[in-house]
Every structure is written in structure tokens, then in C-alpha cells.
């Protein structure tokens, strides 16, 4: 069964304390892996798409990497405004239109 | 304009009511999506429209009825809902199928069924 898991479920960081979020997936024939950020009561905001193992993308303090089994979202010197839930999603191999979301990691950055 | 606009933002409806959620985008995107999100859970796909045709229905109960009148508009018609249908309903759009390109989500409609 196609599945996406994320760890940790919740993460508290001090401002400036770098860390990584993990997304593990068990889909055969990955078409694309996506990272989104979601603030409470709002819709997800697109961050990155990764297609193949070894690929990396960066945006401000965020860097996403992809291996054959997992993806990492590295947060360098986070600020309080980085506090949000970070969602990982994969494009289902059986259906081009279907995207499977992981449960998310709730990140809190403390000043 | 890089927005997906959803109306209303909040909706309270009784179990015998009929209501509609609306979603609009003017980015020329040809794929539009409805998702349902319960508190502290990830979004769950309900429907996908690709080039104004329904391409995916994730076994959603018939009390939810989607409609795509044109390439910019997506509606979700609600009838005889149950309290467990209370959730945040999100609309999204992408340039083409598969959400491979950047996908934009609306702010959602917070639905409460009483």
C-alpha cells in the first residue's frame, strides 16, 4: 500500500537551532514528492517539488533533499515565523492526479 | 493574480440544508481539486477536475456533489450532511494534472454541520 509517514510528529526548536524533518514513503515508482507549509486555519502553501534521488532544492532557510526512500526538510537557523505544520506529499503511481499527504510535522520555533 | 479564492470562509448548516461552496482561480490552471481536512490531520483528496472533466472521485458520499461550470470555477454542493462532515474544505489548482507544478490552495471553508 502506498504510504507516507513523517517524523517527528512535533518539534520545538529555539530560534537559530537548526534541525531536519523526515518524510518516508513507500510508493513504487515515485513520480514526484512535494513539501508544503500550512499555518493554522489556512490552506497549505507550496514549497518544493522533488523528482529524483539526489535532487536538492532551497528556499531561504529551507532545503529539501530526496533519496530513494525518504526526503528531508532541513531548516537552518529557524525564526519564529517558520513555525507551522510541514506536510510532505507524494504523487500516487497508480493515478497521475492523486497526491497522498503525510500526517505532517508541527514545528514551533521559540524566540 | 496567484490566488485561489474560496467562499464562504465559514459555514454553519443543518443536516437538512442544501448549501454550496465556491472556488475561483484566474491563473489559467486546468486542474482543480477539492480536499477535506479534519483537525490535526492531513488533507484528504475528494475530487479532481482536469480540463473541466471529473477525473477522480475518491469514493466520496453522494451528499457531496462537485461541479466545474468553467475552467475558473469549482463548486461543491452539499446536501443532507452529517455532523462528522464538519471539517475544513480546501480547494486547490495547478497548471496541469498531477500537481507537479506549483499547486495553489485556497484558505478553505470551515464547515460546521449541526
- Give the span between the Cα atoms of A23 and A20, in whole angstroms: 10
Least confident of A35-39, A97-101, B67-71, B88-92: A97-101
Smallest Cα–Cα separation from B103: which of A106, A91, A78?
A: A91
- Please judge whether B99 and A91 are an interchain contact, meaning their C-beta atoms are less than 8 angstroms apart: yes
The whole-number pLDDT of residue B98 equals 66
How many other C-beta atoms lie within 10 A of the C-beta of residue A77? 12
The whole-number pLDDT of residue A31 equals 83
The whole-number pLDDT of residue B99 equals 62
Which residue of chain A is at minimal alpha-carbon distance from B108?
Answer: A43
The whole-number pLDDT of residue B59 equals 87
Burial class for A70, CB neighbours closer than 10 Å (0-12, 13-18, 19+): middle
- Please judge whether A43 and B92 are an interchain contact, meaning their C-beta atoms are less than 8 angstroms apart: yes
Can you give the pLDDT of all 111 residues of chain A as single tens digits? Answer: 778 999 999 999 999 999 999 999 987 778 889 999 999 989 999 999 999 999 999 999 999 999 989 999 999 999 999 999 999 999 877 776 778 899 999 999 999
Which residue of chain B is at minimal alpha-carbon distance from A92?
Answer: B98
The whole-number pLDDT of residue B1 equals 62
Instruction: Render the burial of A21-47: b for 16+ CB within 10 Å, e for the rest.
Output: bebebebeebebbbbbbbeeeebbbbb
Could you tell me the pLDDT band of residue B57, with boundaries at 50, 70 and 90?
Answer: confident
Residue pLDDT, tens place only, B4-43: 999 999 999 999 999 999 999 999 999 999 999 999 899 9
Phi, psi of B98 (to 5 degrees): 85, -5
- Give the span between the Cα atoms of B50 and B2, in whole angstroms: 19
Q: Percent of chain B, pLDDT > 90?
A: 82
Q: Give residues 82 to 101 of A whose Cβ lies within 8 Å of B.
A: 87, 89, 91, 95-99, 101
Substitution target in A23, A44, A94 with the highest count of B β-carbons within 10 Å is A44
CA distance A72 to chain B (A): 18
Burial class for B62, CB neighbours closer than 10 Å (0-12, 13-18, 19+): exposed
Average pLDDT in chain B: 92
Cβ(A65)–Cβ(A47) under 8 Å?
no
Amino acid at each position: 500500500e502506498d504510504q507516507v509517514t513523517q517524523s517527528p510528529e512535533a518539534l520545538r526548536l529555539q530560534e537559530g537551532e537548526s534541525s531536519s524533518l523526515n518524510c518516508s514513503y513507500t510508493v513504487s515508482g515515485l513520480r514526484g514528492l512535494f513539501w508544503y507549509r500550512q499555518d493554522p486555519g489556512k490552506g497549505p502553501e507550496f514549497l518544493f517539488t522533488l523528482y529524483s534521488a539526489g535532487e536538492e532544492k532551497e528556499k531561504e532557510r529551507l532545503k529539501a533533499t530526496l533519496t530513494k526512500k525518504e526526503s528531508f526538510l532541513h531548516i537552518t537557523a529557524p525564526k519564529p515565523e517558520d513555525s507551522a505544520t510541514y506536510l510532505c506529499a507524494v504523487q500516487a503511481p497508480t493515478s497521475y492526479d492523486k497526491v497522498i499527504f503525510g500526517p505532517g510535522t508541527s514545528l514551533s520555533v521559540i524566540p | 493574480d496567484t490566488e485561489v479564492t474560496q467562499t464562504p470562509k465559514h459555514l454553519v448548516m443543518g443536516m437538512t440544508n442544501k448549501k454550496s461552496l465556491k472556488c475561483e482561480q484566474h491563473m489559467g490552471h486546468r486542474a482543480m481539486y477539492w480536499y477535506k481536512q479534519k483537525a490535526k490531520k492531513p488533507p484528504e483528496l475528494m475530487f479532481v477536475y482536469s480540463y473541466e472533466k471529473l477525473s477522480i472521485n475518491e469514493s466520496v458520499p453522494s451528499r457531496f456533489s462537485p461541479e466545474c461550470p468553467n475552467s475558473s470555477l469549482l463548486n461543491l454542493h452539499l446536501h443532507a450532511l452529517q455532523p462528522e462532515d464538519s471539517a475544513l474544505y480546501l480547494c486547490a489548482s495547478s497548471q496541469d494534472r498531477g500537481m507537479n507544478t506549483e499547486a495553489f490552495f485556497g484558505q478553505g471553508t470551515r464547515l460546521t454541520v449541526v
